[in-house]
Amino acid sequence: AVAEALKAGWTPEPCEELAPGMPCVKLYEHPQGSTTVMPCPMESVTSADGCGALFGGKADGEQCPQITCPKALGVTMKLVCAGGCCPSCWAPDHVVNLDRHTALENPAVVPPAPQAPTSCGGVRCFEPM
């Protein structure tokens, strides 16, 4: 019963409790009485100018994809704002059993760009195809 509650009742960690460099993730809230997916609050986005360019000339309700989140491996994913212009479906790693094994070598892996932010530590980049 506890495991089932975790699969549907999870919430992101409070931003002030995250380790340095970890992105803040907040649950998206639909406008009252609506299921329309609107942009994330501008104070939460990484690039307000980029969002302005993305949304330019688009009416409310047309700025972001009108998505609903699926269940993945029995876990209810939720719309979150995590720095992007629009909400995305997400669940924390401890709720979705994500396989992050690194035992296999991949010849297409290349070092990360030197200008990559420190929050990209541990990233695996691949050669363009």
pLDDT tens-digit readout, 11-60: 888 888 888 877 788 999 988 888 899 999 999 899 999 999 999 999 98
At residue 110, the 3 state secondary structure works out as: strand
Give, for 81, the enclosing helix (H) or strand (E). strand 78-81
Using an 8 Å Cβ cutoff, are 66 and 88 in contact? no
Question: Whose structure tokens read 């719309």?
Answer: 79
pLDDT of residue 7: 59
Query: How many Å separate Cα 94 from the centre of its chain?
Result: 15
| pLDDT reported for residue 64 | 95
pTM tops 0.75: no
pLDDT above 70: residue 1: no
DSSP string for residues in 11-73? -PPPGGGSPTTPPP-EE--PPTT-----PPPGGG-S-HHHHHHHHTTPPTTTSS------EET
Query: Does residue 3 register a pLDDT over 60?
Result: no
